[in-house]
Structure 1
Amino acid sequence: MKKLRVMMVVHYTLVPPDDLLAEGDPRMEKYRTEYDVKTALLTLGHEVQVVGVYGDLAPIRKVIEEWKPHIAFNLLEDFAGNSAFDYYVVSYFDMMHLPHTGCNPRGLLLARDKALSKMILTYHRISVPHFTVFPRGKKISRLRKFTYPLIVKSLMEEGSVGIAKASYVENDAQLRERVALIHEKLQGDAIAEEYIDGRELYVTILGNTKLEVLPLRELEFGGTEPGTPRMATYKVKWDDKYRERWKIEYQFARNLPNGMAERIGHLCKRVYHLLDMSGYGRLDLRATADGELYVLEANPNPGIARDEDCSLSAIKTGLSYEDFIQRILQLGLMARSIDE
C-alpha cells in the first residue's frame, strides 16, 4: 500500500488537540470524527496534516503549495458558517487538481438541497414526501394542497439540526410558528413535507460509478414518548440518555419483508447516480406497512466516526475501520483519475 501525504480538512474549531489520546477524555465527544479519522490514517502509515478552515481558502492553498499532498480528506460540513457553501471548497480542490475524498461539487449541490433533490427524484418517478419550501424573508402563505401532519425542517442543514417534537405540525398555526422559528434561528429557508409513517432505514453506499450497498441500518423506536411521532429529532440523534430512556436504538435492520433489501439496494443505487453523488453517501428512507419506499434525504459525506452508521455498516461486511478509511481514500484517488 502506497503511503500518502493526506491533508485532512476540518472546521477550524475541530482540529483535534495533539494531546487527545484517551477515550475517556471529556473532549473526545467534540472531536470524535476528526480524531478517529486522523488516528486511522496514521495507523495505515500515511502522513497527515490537519488544516482548519472557516471562510478563507488561503490555509488550504498554503499546504497544497508547500507540502504537496497526494489527497485531501474532506471532513468539512460548511464553509463560512453556511452548509450550502461546502461545495465551494470541493470545487477549489478540483481547480487545484487535488484529489479529495467524498462527494464531488455537483453531487453536493444537488443532494444538500432537500427540495431540489426531491424534484429530481420526483421527475424520475421515485417516491418522496410531498413538500413545499418557505423561503426566508417571504410571507408564510397558507397551504391549500397539502394535508396534515407535516414535518418542518431546514432546507439545507443536516444532522437533524432544527428538528424537534414541535417540527411535527398538525395545523396552519403550528406550521407558521415552526417555519418562523427555522427562519429566525437557522437563518435559512424552511421545507415542510408530509409525515410518512413507517420504518426509518439508513443505507450507506460506497463508490463512484460501480456502487456497493452496505448492510442496512434502522432507527428502531422501541418506546417513543407518548404523543410523539416517530422521527429522528436532534435529541434522538445526539442525546444518548434520551434514546436510552425511550428505548430508541440504532441497529441493523431485521425482519425485512422478502425481497425488500434487494429493492432498497436497487433504489438507492439509482438515487445515488441521479443525484451525481460519489465517494460515499447515506440515503434515509421510510418503508411503510404496505411496502412502499419513500426517499427522505440523500446525505453526501455523512458522519464516519467509528461508532456511526456508515462505519458500522462497513465493519459489518468484514472491513476494519482502518480498511474503511483506506477505501474512502482509494475512491477519492479513483474519482480524480476518472475525471482526467
Structure 2
Amino acid sequence: MRICVLHPSYDGSLSPCNGLDPDAVPQLWLDSPEHHVTSVHLHKATAVKHLIALTRRQPSGGRQLSGPRPPGPLASGQLSFSEAEGLQKGEQPLLVAPPALAQLVLQDEDRDTTSTSSTSSASSAARASNPASRTASASSASSSSTSSSSSTAGEDSTTTRSDPAAPFDVFLNLCDGAWDEDRPGIEVVQALERLNVPFTGADSRCYEPSKEQMKVVAVYHGVRTPPWRVCYDCRDVEEAARVLRMPVIVKHASGYNSVGMTRDSKCGSVEELKTQASLMITSFGSVMVEEFVEGREFTVLVSEDPLAEAAAAAAAAAAAEQKSDSDFNSKCRSKSDRSGGVFVYAPVECGFPSGEDFKHFDLKWVEHEGLQWRRVEDEGMDAKLRGMAATMFTALGGVGYGRLDIRADVEGNIYFLEMNPNCGIFYPPDQQGSADFILSLDPSNDHRSFLRRILLAAVHRWERRQPPVLVKQCSSTSATPQDITPSSAAVSAASTAPTTPAVPPKSSHPYSPPSFGLFAARDFTQGDTIELLEEGPVHLVTQQHVEKHWSPQQQLWFRQYAWPVGPGVWAMWSPRAEDWKPLNHSCDPNAWLEGLNVVARRAIGKGEQVTIDYATFCVDSEPFPCSCSSSRCRGKVTGNDYLAPWLAEEYVEHMSAQVLYLRSQAQIAVRGT
C-alpha cells in the first residue's frame, strides 16, 4: 500500500507551537513490507496546488513517488511542492481506485504482549524540553523509518490500485491547523474531498466544531457538560460572572492545543475573570468562560470502526439471504457517509504535577515532564467514560478519529469538555502526546492496530462517497453524417452562388436545448438504494409563497418539477445547481420509491438511465407527452395520474406518503387486490 503522509509545515509560521510540536512519525508503525511511505510537508498558501500535483497521474517514464530517495534535504521519502508539481505537470486529476477492503483487514501480528506499567511518567518517556532537540529527534526518526519501509526505487511489490500509475493508495492526513492559523488545516481536507481520494481523519463537516457547538450537542444528547458562556465583549463577561459559579476557566472559543491558556486562566474572582477574558477577546475576538470542575481529568481516544460494521453487514447479509428479503439487504447498504462502527480505546487519566490541576499551554507543551498518564482501572468509571466518548463522537458526526477531554467531580459525575478531531498522534516514542500514551498503554490496541483501523476507514469512507448516479445529457442528435457533411457538388454550387453581405445564413439545424438525466455510475441489483433521501435536506416551499413571490419562469418550474409533501407544502429543486438531480419519467421505470429513497425496481446496469413513474409522487403537475418508448407507454403524463385505479396494483407500497393520503381521501384503492 502506497501511503502519503501529509504534515503541516511550520516554516515561517507564527504559531505558538512552532518549535514545540515535533513531526509525527507514523512510519515507525508502518514498517511491514506492504507499506511504502512518502512524507510531504504542506504550507497553507500552496497546500491545494501541492495536493493537486500529488494526486495527478504520473507521466510515462516518470520515476516512482514511493521508494528510497537519494541523500539530500529530501531524503527519507519527502517530496517538495516544486518536485511534485514538476513531476505531475500537465496531467489530469485521477479518480483513484484504492485497495480492496479485504486487503486492509486488521491482522494479529507477533507483538511483545508483556504487560505495560499502568503509570507512565512523562519524565521517563518524555518529550525533550529543548525545541531544537525535539525537532532533530523527529527528523532522525522520520528518516530512518521511511527508508526502512520503502521499496527499491521504481518497484512496488504490493500495487493494489486498478491503475498502477496512480501515486498513492491513501493519504494519511496529519494537518491540524485551525481556520485562523497560518498552518494548513481545513483547506487540506476540502482539497482531498474535491480531488476524490481516500484520506484519514476528519472530513470538512466535523473538522473543527466550536466548543459551544459541541456543548450544545452534548446538552441535547443528555450528556453533562459544565455550564458556560461565550463572550465577545465586557458586557458578555459581566453576564457570565453573574450566572456562573467560581472558579471558572477561560478558553479559546474554538481553537485547540490550549492556545492562549496560562496558569491564570483559572479564575476565582470576578476581577480575575475580567482580566483573563479581556486578554482572550483582544487576542482572538471571543472567549469561552466555563465553570471549572474540581476533580480528575481523563482523555479518551475514539475512532471509526469499519471492521465492526463489516461484521454486522456480513451477518445482516446472511440473515437477509436466509429470509430472502431483498428490502432488508437494501437497508443494510443504506448508511451514512461515515462508517457505522465506533471503537473506543482504553481511557487514561492525567496525573498533574504539584500545584497544577488543568492543562494550560506551558504545561502541555513546555513543562510537560511532570504530567503522568495511567490507565483507568475502575471498571465503573471506565464504562462511563467509554459510553460518553462513543455517544459524543457519534452525536458530533465524528469521522476518522478524535480525542475527548472529560473531567469528573468529587462525587464521580463526569462532564464532557470537548473533542479534538485530528488530534496530535504518532509522535516519536520519547515525545509522546496523550493519544500516543493511550495506545502505548494498551498492547492489544496499539499504534499499528490504530493505523490499520483508520486506513481501512479511509478507504471504506471513500467508497461510500462515490456517487451512485451521475447527471449527464440524455439527448442525442438525430442527424446522419449525410445531413451534416455536404456533398462536393453542393460545395461547388455554393462557391459560385451570389452572396449577400451582412445577412446571416439560415441554419439547417436549429438550436435544440439538451435534456439531462440520472445515469447509474455502477451496477444495481433489485432493491439496491440508488438515491438516499431519508434524513436528507429538502428544499420546501408553500404554494402561497410561490404565487406571491416567484417570477413567471420560477412558477413554470414549480408546475413542472415540484412534488407535494403535505397539504399546501411542496418539495422543489435546490437553488444550488450542483444539487440538481434530474430524475426522468418512464411508464415502465427501473426505479421506484421506498419511503423517500429511490431504489432499484429491477437490475440496472452501469451507464443506464435511472427512471421513475411520476404518478407515484407528482400531483397536479403540468402534463407533457411521453416518449419513453416502453410497451406500456401512456403517451401522455398528466397531473392526475396519481389517481389512476391501476396505480395501486402496480406500485403497492412504492408511492409517496402524500399520494397515498390523497388517494385515500378520494376513496381510491391504496393497495392492489
> TM-score, length-normalised on structure 1?
0.81
d(CA) in 2 for partners of 1:107, 1:160:
19
* 2:238 counterpart of 1:142: yes
Check the 8 A contact 1:155/1:188 in 2, yes or no. Answer: no
Per the TM alignment, residue 123 of structure 1 is displaced from its structure 2 partner at its CA by 1.7
Change (3 A) 1:31 1:161: closer
Alignment map for 1:178-327 (pairs within 5 Å):
178-185=276-283, 187-207=284-304, 208-221=339-352, 223-225=353-355, 230-240=357-367, 243-244=369-370, 248-254=371-377, 256=378, 258-304=379-425, 305=427, 306=429, 307-315=432-440, 316-327=442-453
Of 3, 7, 22, the match for 1:32? 22
Structure 1 runs not aligned, ≥5 long: 16-28
Q: Deviations over 1:51-83 (max 9, x none)?
A: 422133211112112364322211111167528
Check the 8 A contact 1:152/1:193 in 2, yes or no. Answer: yes
d(CA) in 2 for partners of 1:83, 1:120:
29
d(CA) in 2 for partners of 1:250, 1:33:
21
* 2:108 counterpart of 1:11: no
Identity percentage of aligned residues? 21
Per the TM alignment, residue 272 of structure 1 is displaced from its structure 2 partner at its CA by 0.4
Aligned length: 309
d(CA) in 1 for partners of 2:182, 2:207:
10
Higher strand share: 1
Higher radius of gyration, 1 or 2: 2
Change (3 A) 1:286 1:84: farther
Q: Deviations over 1:31-54 (max 9, x none)?
A: 6343x1244446562231414221
Change (3 A) 1:161 1:289: same
d(CA) in 1 for partners of 2:21, 2:424:
12
- Other-structure match for 1:25: none
Aligned-partner residue type, residue 239 of structure 1? V
Check the 8 A contact 2:228/2:290 in 1, yes or no. Answer: yes
Per the TM alignment, residue 132 of structure 1 is displaced from its structure 2 partner at its CA by 0.7
d(CA) in 2 for partners of 1:182, 1:120:
24
Check the 8 A contact 1:7/1:71 in 2, yes or no. Answer: yes
Check the 8 A contact 2:178/2:255 in 1, yes or no. Answer: no
Check the 8 A contact 1:14/1:31 in 2, yes or no. Answer: no
- Other-structure match for 1:21: none
Structure 2 runs not aligned, ≥5 long: 13-18, 57-87, 89-165, 305-338, 467-673
Check the 8 A contact 1:55/1:81 in 2, yes or no. Answer: no
Per the TM alignment, residue 150 of structure 1 is displaced from its structure 2 partner at its CA by 0.6
Check the 8 A contact 1:285/1:294 in 2, yes or no. Answer: yes
d(CA) in 2 for partners of 1:206, 1:50:
24
Check the 8 A contact 2:342/2:390 in 1, yes or no. Answer: yes
Aligned-partner residue type, residue 212 of structure 1? F
Per the TM alignment, residue 251 of structure 1 is displaced from its structure 2 partner at its CA by 2.1
Q: Aligned to 1:119, what secondary structure does the other structure show?
A: helix
Alignment map for 1:37-116 (pairs within 5 Å):
37-41=26-30, 45-56=35-46, 57-65=48-56, 66=88, 68-78=167-177, 81-82=180-181, 86-110=185-209, 113-116=210-213
Per the TM alignment, residue 202 of structure 1 is displaced from its structure 2 partner at its CA by 0.5
Change (3 A) 1:277 1:80: closer
d(CA) in 1 for partners of 2:179, 2:230:
24
d(CA) in 1 for partners of 2:263, 2:205:
33
Higher relative contact order (CA 8 A, sep 6+): 1
d(CA) in 1 for partners of 2:207, 2:7:
17
Per the TM alignment, residue 320 of structure 1 is displaced from its structure 2 partner at its CA by 4.8
Q: Deviations over 1:269-295 (max 9, x none)?
A: 111000011211111111222121100
Higher helix share: 1
**RMSD (CA atoms):** 2.7
Q: Aligned to 1:47, what secondary structure does the other structure show?
A: strand
d(CA) in 1 for partners of 2:358, 2:404:
15
> TM-score, length-normalised on structure 2?
0.43
d(CA) in 1 for partners of 2:42, 2:4:
10
Check the 8 A contact 2:300/2:405 in 1, yes or no. Answer: yes
Q: Deviations over 1:249-308 (max 9, x none)?
A: 222223x3x522112212211110000112111111112221211001111111112423
d(CA) in 1 for partners of 2:31, 2:285:
38
Q: Aligned to 1:201, what secondary structure does the other structure show?
A: strand
Check the 8 A contact 2:350/2:372 in 1, yes or no. Answer: yes
Per the TM alignment, residue 198 of structure 1 is displaced from its structure 2 partner at its CA by 1.6
- Other-structure match for 1:22: none
